[in-house]
Homo-oligomer: A and B are copies of this chain.
């Protein structure tokens, strides 16, 4: 693919050749532009909002204005899922020699609509970078947004090998890890690992709306973890869920069946209200629900893509002052111990934090010894 006499290929290590046209210059589009510009690739910008595209230009995402019919090699459509098919169709027509990709977080609905409407699917390759931010818009864009993240590449079934390679190269140039999946497999996967967890988090968080403040004072890290993603944008998620309803629906219905079983079990779990055998069956349902969760969570890959390790965790009290956490971690580093995971938690109404340090199994004793010697208080 690399051809040193073409624009964009002489200034950096990029496999992607410009000009690249980015259509939709919000967080994702502007981040694609900034990342490519950093590699010396020529990028032209387009967005229905002039404010958005000017902001994207000003943060260094690419050129603007540029003629809509300026020849380009690659078009990246970064629009909400519901408008993505329209935009992809228009770009395929306007740039008859370009490869066109999109970054929408659902793939089957987009591909089906393109097929129905007679798009040239040889030049279309869908993609989905698994990256984002709680902030949005071009001012939140970062050239490294995709660094280390999975980037799903979804051929249309008619995509040419060159078109697929162009999108894989885009992912790799931006520091992402390309994963090739079919549209349906992608949509089933994100339903499981993203869309259903989002709905569950929102439903649990919604129960807190009318909670007594005293109840919320009992909130611990568990509740915070379960509900963190419940802060997501309703507009974007409505579009995502509607576009992936075919994959999300069956998972949610299976989850509801399990939930119904739990609710029924809770009604019978108290032996005082019925026969012993009914109560025993109810307890069995509760236990198998929690055990099924154990089995599922153990399959989530951990660090470096391996199966999740059971780390040893040492929890340390950290005074709430600048530099204290740094001093703690400096002393961990000085002891030659590598942290696998780190979580900082603040105790309610106390000027002290709890730092949970995860280390490889077997290092716990040494870590505790090293920290205690340096005067740190171990909390668990």
Contact = CB atoms under 8 A, between A and B. Distances in A.
A6 interface: no
A189 B218 contact: yes
A121 to B, nearest CB: 20
A227 B290 contact: no
Contacts of A327: 330, 333
Interface in A225-265: 225-235, 237-238, 241-242, 245, 248-249, 251-256, 258-260, 262-263
Contacts of A298: 231
A352 B303 CA distance: 10
A348 B150 contact: yes
A338 interface: yes
A296 interface: yes
Interface in A146-198: 147-150, 152, 177, 179, 181, 185, 188-190, 192-194, 196-198
If over half of A's interface residues share one DSSP class (helix, strand or loop), that class is named, otherwise mixed; here it is helix
Q: Could you say how many copies of this chain the assembly holds?
A: 2
Contacts of A209: 292, 295-296, 299
Interface of A: 130, 133-135, 140, 142, 144-145, 147-150, 152, 177, 179, 181, 185, 188-190, 192-194, 196-209, 211-212, 214-220, 222-235, 237-238, 241-242, 245, 248-249, 251-256, 258-260, 262-263, 266-267, 269-270, 282-283, 286-305, 313, 315, 317, 320-334, 336-344, 346-352, 354, 377-380
Given A142-B378, A220-B194, A208 B297 contact: yes
A253 B249 contact: no
7 contacts: A209-B299, A217-B305, A225-B226, A230-B293, A231-B298, A234-B290, A326-B326
Given A235-B287, A266-B249, A380-B142, A197 B222 contact: yes
A342 B354 CA distance: 11
Contacts of A188: 212, 215
Residue of A315, A347, A377 with most partner-chain B CB within 10 A:
A347
B330 A323 contact: yes
B304 A231 contact: no
Nearest to A308: B224
A348 B301 contact: yes
Nearest to A324: B333
Contact of A325 (B150, B177, B228, B342): B342
A328 B328 CA distance: 12
A317 B238 contact: no
Contacts of A267: 245, 249
B348 A305 contact: yes
A25 B231 CA distance: 40
Given A144-B378, A177-B347, 13 more contacts: A130-B220, A189-B214, A199-B259, A199-B289, A200-B201, A216-B299, A226-B229, A227-B300, A237-B286, A237-B290, A256-B260, A304-B346, A321-B338
A322 B283 CA distance: 46
Nearest to A258: B203
